[in-house]
Amino acid sequence: MENKTAKRINGWKKWVIIAILSILAGCINGFVGTGGGIVIVYMLLFLDGGGEDGTKNAFAKTLVAVIPMSFVAFLVYLKNGNVDTELMGRVFIPATLGGIAGACLMYRIDKKWLTLIFSSLVIYSGVTLITRAL
Amino acid sequence: MTDIIVSFIIAVIVGLGIGGGGFFVIYLTLCMNYGQIIAQGTNLLFFLVSGISALFIHIRRKSVLSRELLFIIAVTLPATALGAHISDFTDPKIPTFFLGALLIISGIASAVRTVKAFIKEKNEKN
């Protein structure tokens, strides 16, 4: 199904969709400090097609796109005094090691159950944040 | 010590690519009582550290750069700067609400996608 979609959207239409969704992803990432990757990963899955390899490739590509985005947003937040660099000094090493461990595990494990558990956690966190904001 | 354990676990989730980008904001705001905007800024730095580490592993495994990806990066950068500027003079409740909604949508989308994969796998086996 995904491959049919990928074949149907080609040429200028594909670039317009990419441009619109990329602007949306950038605005979200800057405004909320995260979340741009969600838009990009679904856009890539929609345009490139699925499959286990396609999904892993889309996640890796999304990471490549989100890092420069996060860097630009980080510079703006830092300029406005909205970054706790002291805390980051404490968690720098575990964050680095954790990132490497997660990326290595990505190619070795079946993530379906993990994804389901974390999806539930994400939904719960979202509800908690909305309740707090209201 | 809690910071170290939690940050390691969240970084693993970031590296796995199963939607861990927002967990550090949640930890900082709900468990550490950080303000929303400073939690977002700190999360960005956290994501850069854990994401770059994960990226090295992905790049070693396969070539991920493409024409589309370079275009995405070029378009997202100014939009990101704009979004980040706007967040600085917005009522913090707005990004909190927005993040909450985003998490619910992505959580549901991710769960639906996984359940579909389960069903597909089961049908292929039968």
Q: Which two tokens stand for residue B10?
A: 């969240």
- Structural domain tally of chain B? 1
CA B37 to chain centre: 16
Q: Find the closest chain A residue to B42 by CA distance.
A: A83
Q: Is B53's CB within 8 Å of A99's CB? A: yes
Q: How many CB atoms lie within 10 A of CB A4?
A: 8
Q: Is B81's CB within 8 Å of A76's CB? A: yes
ipTM, two decimals, is 0.82
CA–CA gap between residue B106 and residue A35 (Å, rounded):
9
Parse chain A into domains and list their residue ranges.
Answer: 1-83, 84-134
- Single out the residue of B106, B76, B52, B62 nearest to residue A57, CA to CA: B62
Q: Mean pLDDT, to the nearest integer, of A89-115?
A: 82
Q: What is the CA radius of gyration of chain B?
A: 17
- Please enumerate in sequence order all residues whose Cβ is within 8 A of that of B22, keeping only pairs 6 or more positions apart, or say none: A32, A34, A35, A122, A125, B43, B99, B102, B103
- Single out the residue of A69, A44, A43 nearest to residue A58, CA to CA: A44
- Model confidence at B62: pLDDT above 80: no
- Model confidence at B63: pLDDT above 60: no
Q: Tell me, what amino acid is at B77?
A: L
Q: Could you tell me how many CB contacts below 8 A there are between chain A and chain B?
A: 368
Range of the domain at B25: 2-125
CA–CA gap between residue A43 and residue A112 (Å, rounded):
20
pLDDT value at residue A7: 54
pLDDT value at residue B114: 83
> With contact defined as beta carbons under 8 Å apart, do B59 and A2 qualify?
no
